[in-house]
Chains A and B, each alone.
Chain A
């Protein structure tokens, strides 16, 4: 499955300043390892040592927070858009 990943500014140094990256992955968990392979260092920024997404990082698949889906096991379809968004203050 080829998906498009939107990379937030603080991480674009690791993607040669690209705001979007194409990735092959069946799930978010696969996507995270694929990102680390293609852009070394990116995975570490997004996940802790156990591979769990850090608590200040939000992942969305086509506008839906993965915590309302199946977390890192959320399946991906061809053409899905995955956003990586830091937590934001309100209101």
Chain B
């Protein structure tokens, strides 16, 4: 597809994060010399020249208001309204945790597919179109699959999605509906990833999280930009984000630093805290033990969207937590479920298990005294609970079954008012 209009570019190429080797801005994610990850290079002076708070505010009500910080050249990137999700002042939850300035960045209601992945895929597929790809693909724990399939459909691209076969039904149907070819692989995500790496080598497709990764991952920065803008052009004091591969966590750091770099916000220290599920916590384990490398694990947790046992950006996450004074902690599946219910019952937000992980980590950080009550603290909720119904199926009680007459209703009402919620989960009515 030809792009009729282009805007002035603010990115200049790719560079190896490890050895600094330079590359053209093509579809390549690995350095040929040292295997280090490639990252997008920007001309920050050019960004500074074309960016002001007012110009951002005049832009579209979507993540594309920050397009000068994103690695695309199209004047009209694919924009399904992604981004600018609510930043909710979570006062009821805050009181529960003994905090005063707690915010939820609610990407459970991101569009089109109800997770933060819509941000990264919007960038990846815009760039894929610029590079001439007509077939795109991804390896996914579910949310990326939904997003890639949906946005590829909007662009009229052919789409192949590779997932572990044991994913939640909602995430599988939520991919098939868009007409994507879904390969359910008998294996865990790390095995899916390895297969995809070999498929990418053979077929010449645009794999959003493989050969398009340098572009894809930049989309996560918009979660930092939006929070800074929504807080009234200032940085938070603490953030808590989930860690799977570690990419989002690192890009949040990069996003906040870029806003400081071009003068959109005043510099201030932010503590970066990370959350993992205990059944897949290689980064938290390394953080605890003081290690500077990650020992891979075999995942076993209900937080399937975070079940990456061999996290590519784990070492960078460790660096960021340590240099900002943050923590990376692991929580149990039971704590994840309890946190999902707490968020729903205090703030009316139904998140998936990854969000439960992040909130459970927040609860723990507060209990351990790591969160100053006055700190402006932002919790990143990255996905929607309707996609992981299996996880909470037997943990929220049951409806009262009644017949359509007043007497039956009155009997159940009496029970509802006398039994406390925990009791009526186990008491037949």
A9 within 8 A of partner (CB): yes
Report Cα–Cα, A55/B310, bound state, in Å: 11
Closest CB in chain A relative to B20 CB, distance in Å: 14
Contact yes or no, B311 A90, CB < 8 A = yes
Residue in A65, A68, A85, A90 whose beta carbon sits within 8 Å of that of B244 in the complex? A90
Report Cα–Cα, A53/B30, bound state, in Å: 15
Which of A20-78 touch B at CB < 8 Å? 45-46, 54-58, 60, 63, 65, 67-68
> Which chain A positions have C-beta within 8 A of B36?
56
Residue in B140, B194, B202, B293 whose beta carbon sits within 8 Å of that of A91 in the complex? B140
Report Cα–Cα, A86/B31, bound state, in Å: 10
Given A8-B201, A9-B201, A56-B37: A88 touches B213 (CB 8 Å cut-off): yes
Interface residues on B, range: 35 or more
Interface size of A in residues (CB-CB distance below 8 Å): 27
Given A6-B198, A86-B35: A91 touches B189 (CB 8 Å cut-off): yes
Contact yes or no, B18 A56, CB < 8 A = yes
Report Cα–Cα, A91/B191, bound state, in Å: 13
B139 within 8 A of partner (CB): yes
> Which chain B positions have C-beta within 8 A of A89?
29, 37, 209, 213, 216-217, 245, 247, 312-313
| Further 10 A-B residue pairs, CB within 8 A, beyond A63-B191, A85-B197 | A10-B32, A11-B32, A19-B201, A19-B202, A68-B298, A86-B30, A86-B35, A88-B210, A90-B244, A91-B189
Q: Which A residues are within 8 Å of any B CB, using their own CB?
A: 6, 8-11, 13, 19, 45-46, 54-58, 60, 63, 65, 67-68, 83, 85-91
Q: Which B residues are within 8 Å of any A CB, using their own CB?
A: 18, 28-37, 117, 139-141, 143-144, 187, 189-191, 193-194, 196-198, 200-202, 209-210, 213, 216-217, 244-245, 247, 293, 295-296, 298, 305-306, 308, 310-313, 315
